[in-house]
Structure 1
Amino acid sequence: MSDENARHRRREAVLEVLRASTSPLGITEISESLGVHPNTVRFHLGALTRNGRVEAVPTERGRRGRPPTTYRPVVRMDPDGPREYRALAELLTEDLASRPDPHRHAVGIGRRWGRRLAAGSDSTRARSARASRARIRRMLDRLGFAPDHDDSGPIALRSCPFLELAETSTRVVCPIHLGLMQGALETWKAPVTVDRLEAFAEPDLCLVHLGPALASTGAVS
């Protein structure tokens, strides 16, 4: 068993002890129930508390000194459970691809996403092409696209956070990325926009072609 699996099992054991109790428990009580050192229990309680699965409950003062902290489980879904976001994303892209004019719909989705991201970070005006290029590059970097830092020519994207979907559903996923960049640049009132997104221009990169804002064609090739 790996160390990570062992930690997970011990953490779940701590949680089960708390769930089985009708009242909050202290570290000593939990450690005695499991037959482990109190520091081990303290470590796992810290992780469970940070994950929102356990909450600390201060006990009432009944004697001098600091009252011991007890713990109880939080009644909620397990936030560490398995996720199937990729399956959901595949279903959504399939639905989008089946619509009339999926490119237009995909770009529109991307524009809304880009406007939201731009407004949530820094929506001040980008006054020059160079400043616009730097700002959109920073956004792409935060999203995991690994843009290059060359200030001339197209922006090369060396990574894609949606690679598996982009490879199988290029005609809807890549237009979303196109709209994302266009929406952000529009929000910043940038003098440039993305004329064209050249998807998989080479096996290991996509190219973002910038041009004057009024001359945008909004194409993915």
Structure 2
Amino acid sequence: MDDSRQSTPTGQSKTDALRELSTLADPARQSLYKAVSASDEPITRDAAATAAGISRTLAAYHLDLLVDAGLLGTTFARRDGAGGPGAGRPAKHYYRIQQERNVSVPPRNYELLADLLATAFDGDSDGVVHSALLQAADVEGRRFGAERPRQPAVPDPDASDGSTEEAEQGESDQGQLCELLEERGYEPMLESDGSIGLRNCPFHRLSRSHTDLVCGLNHALLSGVLEGRGDDSARAELCPREGRCCVVIRPES
């Protein structure tokens, strides 16, 4: 599979960030951006159009605007298995640019504050700061979870077998948990084994230079979310994977 991705600049002014984010004001572009973001691999124009529920021509126009704004990148690839004479030209595929965009008026430098706190954490030889940070993350997570408590299953008196009902209740509960996580800046996805994986880390930039700190905080925060909503906190497991948040929320056993 041919693959050549466009590079993107790392520097970004406030004007650039405003321009990029304003591009997402259009509903069609929002839908296309979400469709591309939800895919693990670059997707074609046709696939994005289908996911967004718009025509291919309209999708092409809006996708290219998102590329021009620096929100999406492109790569060219042939269909899997296609090659040699007659295979046709490689098709354009789209993927999300992994770059944070923050705009505040007047400007604020919270990233610097985060870096300073993380550096202080690195110098914590006796573990006091570490313990305090994990405790704070757990408390905040429990507060999040308490806002959306787990709903108890309501038995169906006419059902002869409760196994199907229990499975449906579990799926509904996972869906409610995904909604809560989305509100808190995560991008949850239900995986084939019933686990909830997270496509992103809300602290992505900091995680590259302070991985242990960020992974520990994510784990404490998400464990607290589960506990706060009356769930089993042990379902949140550290499971580092490339291109994913380091925490996975396992289904109930």
Give the TM-score normalised by structure 2: 0.45
Distance 2:108 2:222 in 1: 28
Q: Tell me, in whole angstroms, the C-alpha distance in 2 between the residues paired with 1:123 and 1:92.
A: 32
Helix, strand or coil at the partner of 1:166: helix
- Residue 162 (structure 1) shift: 1.1
CA distance in 2, matches of 1:126, 1:183: 19
Aligned equivalents of 1:82, 1:148: Cα separation in 2: 33
State the distance in 1 between where 2:123 and 2:223 align: 24
What's 1:147 paired with?
188
1:95 aligns with 2:134: no
1:141-220 matched pairs, under 5 angstroms = 141-150=182-191, 152-191=193-232, 193-199=234-240, 201-202=241-242, 204-206=243-245, 207-210=247-250
Question: How many Å separate the matches in 2 of 1:92 and 1:196?
Answer: 25
> Equivalent residues in 2 for 1:105-120 (5 A)?
105-119=132-146
- Partner Cα distance (2:220, 2:173) in 1: 16
Question: Closer, same or farther in 2 for the Cα pair 1:82/1:96, shift >3 Å?
Answer: same
Partner of 2:148: 122
Tell me the SS of whatever aligns to 1:148. Answer: strand
Partner of 1:19: none
Change (3 A) 1:114 1:195: closer
Structure 1 residue 182 displacement after superposition: 1.0
8 Å CA contact 1:114, 1:179 repeated in 2: yes
Per-residue CA distance 1:154-203 (angstroms, 9 max, x = gap): 3221122211101111111111111111111111111453342223x12x
Q: Percent identity?
A: 25
TM-score, normalized by length of structure 1? 0.50
Give the C-alpha shift of residue 122 in structure 1: 2.3
**Secondary structure in 2 matching 1:205:** coil
- Cα distance change of structure 1 residues 84 and 192 upon mapping to structure 2, 3 Å threshold: closer
Gapped runs of 5+ residues in structure 2? 1-14, 17-103, 154-168
| Bigger-Rg structure (1/2) | 1
1:75-90 equivalences under 5 Å are 80-90=105-115
SS in 2 for 1:92: helix
Tell me, which stretches of 5 or more residues in structure 1 are unaligned? 6-78, 214-221
Structure 1 moving runs of 4+ over 4 Å = 124-132
Could you tell me whether the CA contact under 8 Å between 2:187 and 2:198 is conserved in 1?
Answer: yes
172-181 or 148-157: which moved more?
A: 148-157
2:244 counterpart letter in structure 1: L
| Partner SS, residue 250 of structure 2 | strand
Query: Number of paired residues?
Result: 134
Query: What displacement does 1:126 show?
Result: 5.7
The alpha-carbon distance between structure 1 residues 211 and 123, as it changes in their structure 2 partners (threshold 3 A), is closer
